[in-house]
Amino acid sequence: MNADADSAATVRFLLDGEVTALTDIAPTRTVLQVLREDLGRTGSKEGCAEGDCGACTVVVAERHEGGVRYRAVNSCIQFAPSLDGKALITVESLKGPDGSLHPVQQAIVDGHASQCGFCTPGFVMSLFALFKTRSAPSRQEINDALAGNLCRCTGYRPIVDAAQVMYELARSIPEAKLDWMSAPAGSRSVAARGAEAEFAGRLADLERKDDLVIIHEGGAFHSPRTLSAFASLRERMPAARILAGGTDLGTWVTKQYRGLGDVLSIGSVAELKRTAVTATHIEIGAAVALTDAHLLLAEHYPGLDTLFRRFASPPIRNAGTLGGNIANGSPIGDSMPCLIALGATVVLNRGANRRELPLEALYLAYQRTAMEAGEFVSQVRVPLPQKESVFRAWKISKRFDQDISTLCGAFMLRLDGGGIAEARVAFGGMAATPRRAAACEAALTRRPWNEATRDAAMAALALDYQPIDDLRGTARYRMKVAQNLLRRLWLETGPGGGAVVTRLADLRGVLA
Ligand SMILES: Cc1cc2nc3c(=O)[nH]c(=O)nc-3n(C[C@H](O)[C@H](O)[C@H](O)COP(=O)(O)OP(=O)(O)OC[C@H]3O[C@@H](n4cnc5c(N)ncnc54)[C@H](O)[C@@H]3O)c2cc1C
Ligand code: FES
Ligand code: FES
């Protein structure tokens, strides 16, 4: 590691205000390995090495819309090159120059919320990310922020309490002592804002003018910055592995000890990091993080909000991309059934050419897609909601937070008076690929939305799917639950059905 190194092959990032440079780094060396083994910073722990437990949580800061954006990620499955041009904040970074504890740490100590040495650093870093992104989170938002941090032995309540107290502690810090670390999101402190502007400036100085290219014995790593550069590399290297957020690929390396060979990273391609809302569509670039994609989609389809909160955890959603979820095409992935039901299309690029497919047409068989050699996913296009359309999606899994779906069902109905003009139904976890339920859709389309139609649609699901038995659920269970989701759809959207749901919600309110 050489702080002065400045070549196309050197990964450079800020750590505690200093530029840290990684030269000759294996592109699949994880951020956690760099921290613990190369830099001797052992505060971040390894619990699972697969993004599940949160013991390794760190915060990555980068320039965003003129300011700085802070996001928690799992350092165990992030590859070191992903830090290039950013700032890394670890649990060791939090204490003040005079040794004083950060408000997050102090709140944990005061509230007796410190637990074992494995989980606590991760909890602290998830809370720090929350501290820097929300000014007054609700208890629900705090729970959501901690969804990726597991404690296997004690309780979460003191930690959630500490999350509320940390803001009070920050407010009691004299203005002169506030800096960008100790000022929470939305702070009006002039000193803190000045310090943050300076921090943004230091990040701007790190911005790369050339592409990061690492040639290593395990394979070459290219991180181009434009779409055309990426597309032409992809054409030249069709066998190379595309790396987006690495939340799937990271586990290949850390759990299966697989090499990735040559890697093309899309993480720095500016055009692929954009979103847009046109007169007809929501457009999401392949390198847009799930966090941002979900926010935008749920703005237009509020029925997605709960499902997206249950998609992995904030650190996974901060690193992982919608494009990676779609390209990976896992039969139990959560985005695909939702997007298919919404009528989304996927844009595939090869060189200067592009073609657009209905998303369901991308999936040919288990782990086989219609992507041809040299092609890649560049964008997802989701139609804007139509008048009279209702959309619902539900994820069924054993745990509420941070769990893989047993199945996931998504339903879009366009209602016309008392009837269904159009129905799109898609499931994950019911077949070898995410798939539409053609027979079920036929049983719903151009029918009155009544109990007879509901029952026919439930029965038709048995023609659409022959689900498998596995550790997450038996075939019988999956079919029963899928059919019950149609019953739930009826309860929520059928004539008078909304009233049933409202009455249930009222009852829950009374019982709470
Ligand atoms: C702890 C944990 C929990 C998870 N929970 C969920 C969950 O609840 N629901 C769910 O659906 N998923 C879940 N996942 C899976 C994963 O987070 C998602 O699939 C994620 O969206 C993958 O995106 P990525 O950017 O990280 O992809 P990467 O890991 O970078 O890539 C995934 C695959 O897609 C390919 N690829 C990536 N981008 C492109 C592109 N633009 N064009 C062509 N190919 C491309 C890569 O080559 C690779 O084969 C979880 C993963 C972990 C580790
Ligand atoms: S070590 Fe468990 S999430 Fe990273
Ligand atoms: S895992 Fe740390 S106290 Fe339970």
Q: SS3 of 229, please?
A: helix
Q: Give 122 Cα–ligand 3 centroid separation in angstroms.
A: 11
Ligand 1, atom 43, residue with closest C-alpha = 376
Pairing of strands 87-89, 363-365: unpaired
Is 285 a pocket residue for ligand 1 (Cβ < 6 Å)?
no
Is 312 a pocket residue for ligand 3 (Cβ < 6 Å)?
no
Question: Kindly report the CA angle at 292 between 247 and 19, in degrees rounded to 5?
Answer: 65
Nearby residues of 116 by Cβ (< 8 Å), 6 or more positions away: 151, 153
Rounded Cα–Cα distance for residues 29 and 11 (Å): 12
Q: What is the pLDDT of residue 138?
A: 97
The chain-wide mean pLDDT, for the chain, equals: 93
Is 119 a pocket residue for ligand 3 (Cβ < 6 Å)?
yes
Whole-number CA gyration radius for the chain: 24
The ligand with the least distance to the CA atom of 405 is: 1
Q: What is the pLDDT of residue 498?
A: 55
The stretch 239-247 carries a mean pLDDT of 98
The stretch 134-142 carries a mean pLDDT of 96
Q: What is the pLDDT of residue 491?
A: 95
Helix axes 103-110 and 119-133, enclosed angle (nearest 10): 130
The atom of ligand 2 lying closest to the CA of 47 is 1
Is the predicted pLDDT of residue 504 greater than 50, yes or no? no
Is the predicted pLDDT of residue 156 greater than 70, yes or no? yes
Rounded Cα–Cα distance for residues 314 and 294 (Å): 11
Percent of the chain's residues with pLDDT above 70: 96
Is the predicted pLDDT of residue 502 greater than 70, yes or no? no
Quickly tell me which residue has 């965003």 as its tokens.
64
Q: 351-372 pLDDT, tens per residue?
A: 999 999 999 999 999 999 999 9
The atom of ligand 3 lying closest to the CA of 153 is 4
Which has the minimum average pLDDT: 10-14, 314-318, 503-507? 503-507
Rounded Cα–Cα distance for residues 144 and 275 (Å): 24
Q: Give 300 Cα–ligand 1 centroid separation in angstroms.
A: 23
Is the predicted pLDDT of residue 66 greater than 90, yes or no? no
Strands (E), 335-375: 345-350, 353-358, 363-365, 368-369
Answer yes or no: are the C-beta atoms of 331 and 433 closer than 8 Å. yes
From the list 165, 202, 189, 234, the residue with the least C-alpha distance to 61 is 202
Both tokens of 403, joined, read: 């769990």
Q: 227-241 pLDDT, tens per residue?
A: 999 999 999 999 999
The stretch 87-91 carries a mean pLDDT of 98
Helix axes 451-464 and 475-493, enclosed angle (nearest 10): 150
CA torsion, ordered 44, 62, 64, 385, to nearest 10 deg: -50
* pLDDT-based confidence at residue 510 (cuts at 50, 70, 90): very low
Indicate the class that CATH gives domain 212-383.
alpha beta
From the list 234, 237, 215, the residue with the least C-alpha distance to 226 is 234
Could you give the C-alpha distances from 160 to 24, 55, 164, 437, in angstroms and in order? 42, 17, 7, 41
The atom of ligand 2 lying closest to the CA of 54 is 3
Is 267 a pocket residue for ligand 1 (Cβ < 6 Å)?
no
From the list 288, 462, 245, the residue with the least C-alpha distance to 379 is 288
Q: State pTM to two decimals.
A: 0.95
* pLDDT-based confidence at residue 497 (cuts at 50, 70, 90): low
Is the predicted pLDDT of residue 512 greater than 60, yes or no? no
Is the predicted pLDDT of residue 508 greater than 60, yes or no? no
Is the predicted pLDDT of residue 268 greater than 70, yes or no? yes
Is 452 a pocket residue for ligand 3 (Cβ < 6 Å)?
no
Q: Which fold has domain 11-206?
A: Ubiquitin-like (UB roll) (3.10.20)
Could you give the C-alpha distances from 377 to 222, 246, 327, 408, in angstroms and in order? 17, 15, 7, 23
Rounded Cα–Cα distance for residues 439 and 462 (Å): 9
Rounded Cα–Cα distance for residues 192 and 181 (Å): 8
Which has the minimum average pLDDT: 135-139, 187-191, 256-260, 490-494? 187-191
DSSP for residue 37: I
AA identity, residue 5: A
Q: Which of 45, 57, 119 to mutate to test the pocket of ligand 3 (most atoms within 8 A of CB)?
A: 119
AA identity, residue 150: L
Q: What's CA 109's distance to the chain center, in Å?
A: 30
Q: Give 148 Cα–ligand 3 centroid separation in angstroms.
A: 13
The stretch 32-43 carries a mean pLDDT of 98
Q: Give 115 Cα–ligand 3 centroid separation in angstroms.
A: 6
Where are the domains positioned within the chain? 11-206, 212-383
Pocket of ligand 2 (CB under 6 A): 46-49, 51-56, 74, 76
Answer yes or no: are the C-beta atoms of 347 and 356 closer than 8 Å. yes
Q: Which of 294, 328, 375 to mutate to test the pocket of ligand 1 (most atoms within 8 A of CB)?
A: 328
The atom of ligand 2 lying closest to the CA of 48 is 2
Backbone dihedral angles phi then psi of residue 429, each to the nearest 5 degrees: 80, 5
Is 154 a pocket residue for ligand 3 (Cβ < 6 Å)?
yes
Q: What's CA 95's distance to the chain center, in Å?
A: 29
Is the predicted pLDDT of residue 6 greater than 90, yes or no? no
